[in-house]
Amino acid sequence: MVHSKSFSRASRLSAFLLYICERAIEGHTDEITEQQIGVRVFGRPAHYNPGDDNIVRGTARLLRQRLELYYQEEGAADELRITVPRGTYVPLFERATEVQEQPDAERSPLLEDAPREAPLARHTFSRLWTAVSLLAAFALGAAALLAYQHFTRSRNHPSSPAAVLWRTVFPGDKRTLIIAGDAGVDMFDNLARQQVNINEYSERAYLSSPFAQTPDDYHWAPLATRAYVSVQDLKLATALVRLPEVRNDQRVFIHYAREIRPEDLMDANAVLIGSPAFNPWVQLFDKDQDFTMSYDGVENSITVIDHHPAAGEKSSYKWIWNDPEHAYALIALTNNLNGTGKVLLVESTTTMPTGAASDLLLNPGPMEQILARATNPNGSLKRFEVLLETSLVGNSSTQPKVIAVHIHNN
């Protein structure tokens, strides 16, 4: 539906629809509230007051109208239909013949978004049984589709180490979040000459700093609050969703770092793009990494620290703003916060080396050899870290050189 003419250009409505349907299908209807939708879909802070900001209610009204239009035109032949009854944000899945208009009494604007009993509780037994049957058929069809996708993937890429990586990060049977960095917080870091830690970023505490305010005699929005993202991040995200192993996977979502909450990284798979100063969420995974990046605002430098240097490796590698000869990027595969999935980290000392890391990830060559070494006998991947060195020439980086590879057995 979100790729239809009715929704393809309505990104806000599509994001709303995907969020509520995904939570409903997974049984997390407790997360389909005005507060949660505001935070998860529209990037509102966790403490925002829905009474002062009606973005969820307004978008819900537009979504109901757009769904009606879709089923009148493009979706007229759809057997299974999605509705969002007034008074709730929990979607209802019904046969086309069972969709009925609500009584006029329930159309009162005063009741539009008031909490009420979920519509499912008012169904008759036969209607509930029909819904269960439909969902069972839907689940079987989805399982068959996933099986076919995995068969196709393994048939087309039976032994490619790169294919193993992408099937690990994008398994097809669970969510994978591609999270682009936040250039606004990076600008704040440069102004404040200090790195925002993950707690400050998660709670938006840094926005109360004087460095996050608009200068006197100016009327523009503070730089720290603006939704800026690196072009290199967008290029990598676009390339990832076009991979054969990822294309048409409806459980892959691209997010801006400021939209994410810690719980999003508990069980989902993820691709995090950016250094700790640019995408603070990578800081959550530093404790398990041999390589970490540290920003020095006074010197305007980033140091890659090797906590367990092997023979021939240095204990640290520094990038500084006036030295174009040495820039660094880091590619790492690690576990998500609950250990139930995988997270791919793509960090770099500036935005340009992100392009070099992307080239290594997406093209055969040295990365294939590294992945072959990191592959277990059963076909799964071990945790690994790859440190790259590259030189900056103008607005691009040169071919990266792999200077360290760490493969973990746990």
pLDDT tens-digit series, residues 297-347: 888 899 999 999 999 999 999 988 777 678 899 999 999 999 999 999 999
Which residues are bridge partners to 386 per DSSP?
331, 405
Terminal Cα distance for the chain, rounded = 41
Q: How far apart are CA 178 and CA 252, in angstroms?
A: 7
**Cβ-based neighbours of 5, under 8 Å, separated by 6 or more:** 74
Phi, psi of 99 (to 5 degrees): -70, 120
Task: Write down the pLDDT at residue 398.
Answer: 63
How far is Cα 178 from Cα 174, in angstroms, rounded to an integer? 13
Distance CA 347, CA 374 (A): 20
The strand ranges marked E within 235-300 are 252-256, 269-273, 291-296
Residue 367, both tokens:
């990365």
At residue 346, the 3 state secondary structure works out as: strand
What are the tokens at 316?
A: 């640290």
CB atoms closer than 10 angstroms to residue 119 = 18
The pairing of strands 252-256 and 92-95 is unpaired
pTM of the model: 0.63
Q: Are 264 and 186 in contact (CB under 8 A)?
A: no
Q: Tell me the sheet residues that pair with 271.
A: 178, 344
Tokens 């390589």, residue?
291
More confident residue, 399 or 18: 18
- Rounded to whole angstroms, the Cα distance separating 223 from 194 reads 16
> Which DSSP helix (H) or strand (E) runs through 234?
helix 231-241
- Check pLDDT > 50 for residue 353: yes
| 142 vs 300: which has the higher pLDDT | 300
> What is the model's pLDDT at position 81?
92
CB proximity list for 176: less than 8 A, separation 6 or greater: 169, 170, 249, 251, 252, 253, 268, 269, 270, 271
β-bridge partners, 95: 80
State which H helix or E strand residue 317 sits in: strand 316-320
Reported as a single tens digit per residue, the pLDDT across 97-138 is 766 544 443 333 333 343 433 444 334 344 444 454 555 455
The residue type of 2 is V
Q: Report the distance separating Cα 42 and Cα 170, nearest Å.
A: 24
d(CA 10, CA 1): 11
Top pLDDT among 167 and 102 is at: 167
3-state secondary structure (DSSP) of residue 82: strand
Task: Answer with the residue of higher pLDDT: 241 or 116.
Answer: 241
Cα–Cα distance for residue pair 333/275, rounded to 1 Å: 15
